[in-house]
A and B are shown apart, each in its own frame.
Chain A
Amino acid sequence: MRRSLRFYFALFFAKGTAMVLKLIGRKGTSMPGSWAIILCPDFLGRMPRPKTVVGITGTNGKTTVANMVEDVLEDCGYDFVCNRSGTNVNTGVASALIANSTFFGKPKKDLAIFELDERSSPKILPYLKPDLLLCTNIFRDSYKRNAHMEFILDVLERYIPDRTRLILNADDLLCSSLKPQNRRVFFGIDRMPEDGEECQNIVQDIRVCPQCGARLEWEFVRYHHIGKAHCPCCEFQSPEADYRVTSTHPEQGKMTVKYGGEERDYPMPNSSTINVYNSLSAVAFLSEFGLSPDQIAASMEKLSISESRYKEEEAGGKKVVLHLAKGQNPIACSRAFENIRNYPGRKAVILFLDDYFDAAHSVENTSWYYDTDFEFLNDAGIPQIVAAGARHWDVCVRLLMAGIPESKIAHVEENEKAASLLNPAQVDSVFILYDVYTIGLANRVKEQVKAVLKDSGGENGKEDGGQNED
Chain B
Amino acid sequence: MKIEILFPEFCNLFGDMSNMWYLRKCLPEAEFVETPFEAEPAFASEDVGLIYLGPMTERTQERVIEKLRPLSDRIYELIEKGACFLFTGNALEILGESIENEDGSKISGLGIFDLRAKRDMMHRHNSTFLGRFDGEEVMGFKSQFTMAYTAPGYYPFLQVTKGTGLNKKLKTEGIRYKNFVGTYLLGPILILNPCLTKRLLSDLGVPNTRLAFDSEINAAYRKRLKDFHAKT
Q: Which residues of B contact A365 (CB under 8 A)?
A: 126, 128, 141, 143, 187
CB distance from A297 to the nearest CB of B (A): 42
Q: Which residues of A contact B224 (CB under 8 A)?
A: 363, 391, 393-394
Over the window 197-227 of chain B, the binary record of Cβ atoms lying under 8 Å from chain A Cβ atoms (1 yes, 0 no) is: 0000000000000000100110110011001
Is B9 in contact with A401, judged by CB distance below 8 angstroms? no
Q: How many contacting A-B pairs (Cβ < 8 A)?
A: 102
Chain A interface residue count, Cβ-Cβ cutoff 8 angstroms: 36
A298 contacts partner chain B, Cβ-Cβ < 8 Å:
no
For window 5-63 of chain B, which residues contact chain A by CB distance below 8 Å?
Answer: 9-10, 12-18, 21-22, 25, 36-38, 57-60
CB distance from B45 to the nearest CB of A (A): 23
A288 contacts partner chain B, Cβ-Cβ < 8 Å:
no
From B16, B122, B213, contact of A401 by CB (8 A):
B213
From B59, B124, B139, B213, contact of A144 by CB (8 A):
B124
B65 contacts partner chain A, Cβ-Cβ < 8 Å:
no
Q: How far is the CA of A363 from the CA of B220 in the complex (A)?
A: 12
Q: Which residues of B contact A393 (CB under 8 A)?
A: 216, 219-220, 223-224
Q: How far is the CA of A400 from the CA of B21 in the complex (A)?
A: 12
From A363, A368, A470, contact of B128 by CB (8 A):
A363
B188 contacts partner chain A, Cβ-Cβ < 8 Å:
yes
Q: Which residues of A contact B58 (CB under 8 A)?
A: 150-151
Is B15 in contact with A367, judged by CB distance below 8 angstroms? yes
Q: Which residue of A lies closest to B145 (CB)?
A: A147
From A208, A330, A397, contact of B37 by CB (8 A):
A208
A52 contacts partner chain B, Cβ-Cβ < 8 Å:
no
Q: How many B residues are at the interface, by size bracket?
A: 35 or more
Q: How far is the CA of A367 from the CA of B38 in the complex (A)?
A: 28
For window 319-362 of chain A, which residues contact chain B by CB distance below 8 Å?
Answer: 330, 360-362
Q: Which residues of B contact A362 (CB under 8 A)?
A: 128, 231-232
B228 contacts partner chain A, Cβ-Cβ < 8 Å:
yes
Is A150 in contact with B9, judged by CB distance below 8 angstroms? no
Is B15 in contact with A147, judged by CB distance below 8 angstroms? no
Over the window 132-149 of chain B, the binary record of Cβ atoms lying under 8 Å from chain A Cβ atoms (1 yes, 0 no) is: 000000010101010000
Is B25 in contact with A207, judged by CB distance below 8 angstroms? no
Q: Which residues of A contact B117 (CB under 8 A)?
A: none
Is A147 in contact with B124, judged by CB distance below 8 angstroms? yes
A87 contacts partner chain B, Cβ-Cβ < 8 Å:
no
For window 167-216 of chain B, which residues contact chain A by CB distance below 8 Å?
Answer: 186-188, 191-192, 213, 216
Q: Which residues of B contact A82 (CB under 8 A)?
A: none
CB distance from B215 to the nearest CB of A (A): 10
Q: How far is the CA of A150 from the CA of B12 in the complex (A)?
A: 13
Q: How far is the CA of A362 from the CA of B213 in the complex (A)?
A: 25
Give 7 A-B pairs besides A144-B124, A397-B191 with Cβ atoms closer than 8 angstroms: A143-B143, A145-B124, A150-B58, A203-B12, A207-B9, A368-B15, A397-B220
Can you list 13 contacts pairing A with B, beta carbon distance less than 8 Å? A213-B37, A215-B36, A363-B224, A363-B227, A365-B141, A365-B187, A366-B188, A366-B192, A367-B14, A367-B141, A367-B188, A397-B213, A401-B22
